[in-house]
Amino acid sequence: MTPMQNQIIPDATTRPDPLVSNDAVLAVAVEETPPDLLQAFAQFLMMDVANGDATEDTVRAYYREVGLWLRWCAAREVDPLWVERVHIETYRQELKARGIGVSTRSHKLSIIRRFYDAAVKHGLLANNPAAGVKGGKDLTLPEDKIRALTEGALDALLCSIPADTLAGRRDRVIVGLMGLHGLRSVEIWRLDHEHLERQGDAALLHVRGKGHKTRVLPLRGDILRAWDDYQNAKAQAGYLVEGAVIVGHGNNGRGARISRRSLENVVNKYLEKAGFKRPGVSCHGLRHTFATVALHNGAKVEYVRDEMGHRLMDTTMTYVRLLSRRQNSAAAFIGAGLRFDDPQNTPPDEIS
């Protein structure tokens, strides 16, 4: 092993932060990576991930996470083919120190693990250095991770979006589809005009979800009207009413499908404006809102599962468990006659 390869964690404080995404720096990190390793990973993505049928988003996510890892290695002058377990563990600890949660750390490490699986499979390494390195133990129950708005807060959020501008009309569609139909941000981002199927005064929306799966949702009347209002305004302004539904209306990217980050920024802007932004309340928080409000108001759990595109019923049951805990708190069964909130009362003579 060379001195460079033996140097586990050289000081990198003067280098760019290797845990923050930057396309240009990631590209340099990839260029400095042995081509055989990159070729092995590319073939692995094409043949092994999702049984050879990985979505474009999945492939992009894999390359991004591997790029961040390669950048981390480059910042420390560590050859990615000479990595040891301690490197992976140190990377994990740096992610943890940045406040990145267990589930996200686990996801990142699983991609790195598969990156080295490809290297082993193609004979570039004898063993996977990331094997057995976990993201940590998550002690939080799934239902305790849910951050949702109340129905009243959702109403206030929707009403805060202007309906007299082209961008405002677009944003009403975005937030409405999230909060009133439970769509994921990527599902809204993917929408094309051709995905709307009209049936008289009603309409069905063909939503492309995870793993190429398409589900068909009957659109609420208010969402359909918001959709039509936006499309009519686009047509009057000279925009194409075909292809991408959610497009840019500024000088940059005018008429082109907006980026996923821009879409998320739209939602965060209105959450901030309405005073509802807090940790955990974002695009996915509106999806949580849809589920909790629908179930609270009596929707059948299987309908909510189908609307949200959950593969497993247990995922949807997380919301049921949350509502059940809220509505059946054990504390509520302790006698209402207690004098705790009336300190002037004389305490009882006997205490069991």
Give residue-wise pLDDT tens across range 223-270. 999 999 999 999 999 998 889 999 999 887 889 999 999 999 999 999
Domain tally for the chain? 2
Same domain, 163 and 129: no
Residues 159 and 304 in one domain: yes
Q: Picking from 108-112, 189-193, 213-217, 348-352, which range would have the lowest pLDDT averaged per residue?
A: 348-352
Query: Within this chain, do residues 34 and 129 fall inside the same structural domain, yes or no?
Result: yes
Predicted pLDDT of residue 345 = 63
Name the residue range of residue 89's domain: 3-139
| Three-class DSSP category at 39 | helix
* % the chain with pLDDT above 90: 55
176 and 36 part of one domain: no
**Counting Cβ atoms within 10 Å, is residue 3 exposed (0-12), middle (13-18) or buried (19+)?**
exposed
Check: pTM over 0.85? Answer yes or no.
no
CATH number at residue 223: 1.10.443.10
Render pLDDT for 245-255 as a digit per residue (tens, 0 to 9): 999 998 878 89
Domain final residue pick, 139, 163, 185: 139
Mean pLDDT of the chain: 85
Is pLDDT at 7 greater than 70 in this prediction?
no
**Domain annotation covers residue 337:** no
Q: Which residues contact 197 (CB under 8 A, 6 or more apart)?
A: 203, 204, 205, 206, 216
Same domain? 67 vs 213: no
Query: Is 221 inside a domain boundary?
Result: yes
Residue at 170 is within a domain: yes
Predicted local distance difference test score (pLDDT) of residue 113:
94
pLDDT confidence tier of residue 298, bands split at 50, 70 and 90: very high
Instruction: Cite the DSSP H helix spans in the chain.
Output: 3-6, 23-31, 35-47, 56-75, 85-97, 102-121, 151-159, 166-181, 185-190, 221-236, 260-274, 283-296, 301-308, 313-327
The answer to whether residues 36 and 159 belong to one domain is no
